[in-house]
Amino acid sequence: EFKIQTSQYDSGYGTRVPNTNLITRSGENQFHGDAWEFVRNDIFNANAFFRNATGQPRANLKQNQFGGTIGGPIKKDKLFFFSSYQGTRQVNGLDPDASLSTLLLPPLTNDRSAATIGSQFCPANKAPAMQTRYLTFAGGVQVACDGSNINPVALHLLQLKLPDGSYAIPTPQTILFSGANAGLGFSSYSLPSAYDENQYLLNVDYVISKKQTLSGRFYDATANTLRSFGTNFFRSPETPNTPGFPENEYDKDYITSVKLTSVLTSNVANEARITCTLANIDETGPGVPSAASIGMTPATPLFPEPPDFTIRGSLGGFRLGNIHNDYRSSTKTYSGEDTLSWVHGKQTIRTGVFVFRQDLQSFSSQSRGRITFQNFTDFLLGMSAAQNGSPQGFSNIQSIEANVGLGPRGEVVRSYTIDHGSAFVQDDTKITSRLTLNLGLRWEYLPPSWGPSGDLGNAWPSLLQLAPIPPASGTYLGTTVPANYNPNQINPYTGQPFGSPPAGVFVRPTKSYYANGAPLDSFAPRFGLAWQPGSKQTRVVVRGGYGWFYQLPSDGGNAPNTAQNNTQPFAQLFSDTGASNSASTLQKPFPTTTLGFVLRTPASRLTDRVIGPDFLIPKLQQWNLNVQYRFSPSLALDLGYVGSYGNNLLLAYDSNQPLLATPGHPVNCGLPSTPAGLGVSAAVFGTVGVDALGCVTTNTSANAYLRVPIVGETPTALQAHQSLGASWYNSMQATFRQQISHGLTFQVAYTFSKSEANTTVYNDQRNLNLDWARTSFDRTHRVITNFSYDLPSLRTNGFGGAMLRGWSISGIVIVQSGLPMSLTDRNGGSVYGFAGPATITLCPGATYKDLVTSGTTGSRLRNWINKSAICNGPAIGSDGSLGYGNTGQSIANGPGQFNTDFSIGKTTTVRGLREDAQLAFRVEFYNALNHPQFSNPGTTLGTANFGVITQTSVAPRLIQFGLKYLF
């Protein structure tokens, strides 16, 4: 049984809102148990929408879930047990995250010779109206029509075949003949994933005496997962994975909990609990060729596999490989709590303490790296800016990202310890027979996570600003290491110790990223009431509550906007975009990995990262007010308001966004005024706009890295993770419920809400006030209806009566608004070195309402967005490079959702192990009406996926059969 704490007034709960309690059964003096099997098979299912659209057969789906429970006495009235087992065996070709991939592809054929590919994709062979589609994003050299300049690495990948004989970059299943993407390939692939899990649970309860009970809970689970298209972690829906790059995952989880319940007096009780958990994850990407075999140099020699290739643009969008396929972690958690309860007259008072420690060690997956191309023709060339003659100084590889470190395969090894303590007091008082007040106060001790191995690298803004333009000899100012930095740690790339921090490196006073520890004033008040107005009426009840909740920051977890990377000296972060990545080629996309302390010079292009340095605890305030009117003992209406406000929330923004220069107001005066001083050729120096005084006087894409506030760091470096975010949530909630009456139970719940935050930063990285917008999960309207009806039993004896009795039906219907979309422009922000995502630019006179086309969902799958309302972004640079757009975030909605799940079942008394033993049979229909429900379209202007829907959000109709024997 799961219980989710949603009220605000109980101070016994803190952090991790909403709190979820998992309650498992205990044994009794009689033996009870059950056994079950639930079965799914694709012969009963409908086909997926896009599988139908491309003429592909129904996807494979076979699932068996089976198990049983048994509980009873070991020693009557003294010692009891309850145990369960559940096994899952699944082969699933319908999982949209792991098994299905619908792609817009370049119109490749099975002839993968350089001459054929050159003829297909050179702009010179196309009609004038179609040439733009085939131009590279970098500009300069284009694909030769004879294929003579196709990069050997690209050609090798195009000719690479998978074990089944198909190409790693697929030949499309179909070619589109109409619409904006006419001539491109459209394919829907289903590769069955597999999931095998075994779960074991054992509960033991020992009655020590009438006043004391000792309980133990033991859980063990092992799972093996094959994801045919790799992990979905941070996967963009605009670049789905191609077949051939799966992921194997092994999970092992243990939970042990021991509780002592003591009745101290007739009105005082105490509950003490100790819990230990262990969670291990091991993910690997099998079957990938080595980087050397296709002519590439990997991001690190310790991980000799090729990177993730992400290809987007006007010729389709897809990914070859997956940067997040390789990951390992081990998480150990220890907690203890004690709660004392005292009932005194009309008061119930509880007080307690809680302590918690979590040790996490993970091996990051990002040593594989990722390279991104803004068009398929850029991939075909794979040249540096010097080779392709890009007028904006772009390599054909638009961006690179990798994080390499000390792990055996070059992984970043992240070790964190998270400590947490709390204490609370709660007073629930019945003031009168019609008014109850709940008053509570909780104190939280929440220090930042810290690294026991002393390897948490960080850069501090205040120290970087001491030398915004570094000397030619370089500086280490800005680099910091923790108090427990270990100079004897061996650098695997040199075989030598890292050594003592050089002059300029600051040793932080703490073992965390931050300058300070836990604030000691984190008190969280709670208040609640339940009031029945009047003196005699029994139909109306008013309930309300208010509370503060401090959240547990996680610098190493998967929470949004927490840092996932590490930097010097024990790790090296590559995150270069645009002209900062000008030297990248397909043969060698990444700089050479060295680790250690790296000097910042005017010619360097570092990508360090900032956390803090001030540590603040995120805080959430929640409140509600609810009125319930009961029409009858079984029929009631609830109408209420629920709201919340969060502050000190973590957000991430690019703090090194370039400044804008003019001849009258130059920037960064004092730069070297020679090509050698900037580490560039004389030809390049003539394009970067640096005058004789070392001042930058012009704005271009090529000189963005010289206009940054901290020279020597790229425009996309110094991503700052700071507690500057806030959020609002407001909602009206109405629930009409019928408790069981004549066999019928139903509930209709409607929510009208708005969720806003500024924790995702687009456009100008220096003006966070512009980022207030609806959150990505906001749904304005949401209606959920659930019902259960026990069909009337006919009073008939014998076999006929047994067959007609015990039938029931139930269902859940969900109707909700679509999710918000933020529309971006891949060309936007180029004058700022692509420091942050740029939104689109609305044409004069157009409004947000003009952005979404009209008609049925099915008629708009390829044109959800009205492109005629969108214009080119503002040209700011002297080279025509663009600024940011004039729109905000979450400015339009995607498709809504209408889903119905339905089940029919029968319960029959069959005896057997017990006289009252029952057999329950169920048939469950998921998406019973087989209603296609779609994900949002692509949202990046300038790509083939923009405004095109290629994914469904809900599986087609699935049917599951279940059989359960209860005794």
Lowest mean pLDDT among 622-626, 686-690, 708-712: 686-690
pLDDT digits (tens, 9 = 90+) for 719-736: 999 999 999 999 999 999
What is the DSSP secondary structure assignment for residue 380, as one 8-state letter?
H
Cα 623 to its chain centre, rounded Å, is 27
Q: Specify the 3-state DSSP secondary structure of 437.
A: strand
pLDDT of residue 558: 37
What is the signed CA dihedral for 236, 717, 366, 403, rounded to 10 degrees? 170
Q: Is residue 86's pLDDT more than 60? A: yes
Q: Is residue 2's pLDDT more than 50? A: yes
pLDDT of residue 557: 39
Lookup: tokens for 500: 């003592």
Q: Is residue 788's pLDDT more than 80? A: yes
Lowest mean pLDDT among 233-237, 311-315, 823-827: 233-237
Lookup: tokens for 391: 């007028």
Distance CA 125, CA 140 (A): 17
Q: What is the mean pLDDT of residues 146-158?
A: 98
3-state SS string for 759-797: CCCCCCCCCHHHHCEECCCCCCEEEEEEEEEECCCCCCC
pLDDT digits (tens, 9 = 90+) for 844-901: 999 999 999 999 999 999 999 999 999 999 999 999 999 999 999 999 999 999 999 9
pLDDT digits (tens, 9 = 90+) for 298-330: 999 999 999 999 999 999 999 998 888 888 999
Q: Specify the 3-state DSSP secondary structure of 307.
A: coil
Q: Is residue 939's pLDDT more than 70? A: yes
Q: Is residue 556's pLDDT more than 60? A: no
Residue 778 · residue 819 · CB < 8 Å:
yes
CA nearest to 357, candidates 438, 485, 429, 450: 450
Q: Is residue 619's pLDDT more than 90? A: yes
**Of all residues in the chain, what percent carry a pLDDT higher than 90?**
86
State the angle between helix axes of 152-159 and 114-121 in degrees (0 to 180), rounded to the nearest 10. Answer: 100
Lookup: tokens for 166: 């198909």
Lookup: tokens for 448: 């930042």
Give the side-chain half-sphere CA count within 13 A for 965.
Answer: 11
Q: Is residue 454's pLDDT more than 80? A: yes
Q: Is residue 19's pLDDT more than 80? A: no
Q: Is residue 1's pLDDT more than 70? A: no
What is the DSSP secondary structure assignment for residue 299, as one 8-state letter?
S
**Of all residues in the chain, what percent carry a pLDDT higher than 70?**
96
pLDDT of residue 555: 46
Q: How confident is the model at residue 690 (pLDDT cuts 50, 70, 90)?
A: very high
Burial of 320 (0-12, 13-18, 19+ CB in 10 A): buried
Q: What is the mean pLDDT of residues 535-558?
A: 82
Which residue bears the tokens 């070059």? 410
Lookup: tokens for 771: 């980022």
Instruction: Give the pairing type, strands 327-344 and 347-363.
Output: antiparallel
Q: What is the mean pLDDT of residues 745-765?
A: 97
**How many CB atoms are closer than 10 A to CB 245?**
23
Distance CA 90, CA 225 (A): 9
Q: Specify the 3-state DSSP secondary structure of 743.
A: coil
Q: Is the C-alpha dihedral spanning 471, 477, 479, 484 positive or negative?
A: positive
Residue 541 · residue 532 · CB < 8 Å:
yes
Alpha carbon distances (Å) from 834 to 338, 705, 712? 52, 10, 16
pLDDT of residue 5: 63
Q: How confident is the model at residue 916 (pLDDT cuts 50, 70, 90)?
A: confident
| Cis peptide bond upstream of 569, omega within 30 | yes
Gap between the terminal Cα atoms of the chain: 19
pLDDT of residue 6: 60
Lookup: tokens for 839: 């939104």
Q: Is residue 181's pLDDT more than 90? A: yes
Residue 927 · residue 956 · CB < 8 Å:
yes
Q: Is residue 199's pLDDT more than 70? A: yes
Q: How confident is the model at residue 563 (pLDDT cuts 50, 70, 90)?
A: low
Residues in the chain, how many?
A: 967
Lowest mean pLDDT among 120-129, 460-469, 710-719, 802-811: 802-811
Q: How confident is the model at residue 24 (pLDDT cuts 50, 70, 90)?
A: confident
pLDDT of residue 8: 67
What is the DSSP secondary structure assignment for residue 302, as one 8-state letter?
T
Distance CA 296, CA 156 (A): 11
| Cis peptide bond upstream of 286, omega within 30 | no
Q: What is the overall mean pLDDT for the chain?
A: 93
| Spatial CB neighbours of 774, under 8 Å, sequence gap ≥ 6 | 754, 755, 756, 820, 889, 890
pLDDT digits (tens, 9 = 90+) for 706-717: 999 999 999 999
Distance CA 253, CA 222 (A): 7
pLDDT of residue 552: 79
Cα 133 to its chain centre, rounded Å, is 32
More confident residue, 559 or 408: 408
pLDDT of residue 364: 83
Instruction: Give the pairing type, strands 824-825 and 940-941.
Output: parallel
pLDDT of residue 841: 98
Cα 41 to its chain centre, rounded Å, is 30
Instruction: Give the pairing type, strands 635-654 and 773-774.
Output: unpaired
Q: What is the mean pLDDT of residues 236-251?
A: 91
Alpha carbon distances (Å) from 612 to 462, 616, 719, 722, 723? 11, 9, 11, 5, 8
Instruction: Give the pairing type, strands 185-190 and 100-105.
Output: antiparallel
Distance CA 475, CA 151 (A): 38
Residue 640 · residue 733 · CB < 8 Å:
yes
pLDDT of residue 466: 97
| Max CA pair span of the chain | 105
Q: What is the mean pLDDT of residues 630-657?
A: 95
Which H or E run contains 133? helix 131-134
Sheet containing 185-190, strands listed edge to edge, beginning at the edge strand earlier in sequence: 100-105, 185-190, 174-175
CA nearest to 308, candidates 258, 239, 261, 361: 239
Q: How confident is the model at residue 25 (pLDDT cuts 50, 70, 90)?
A: confident
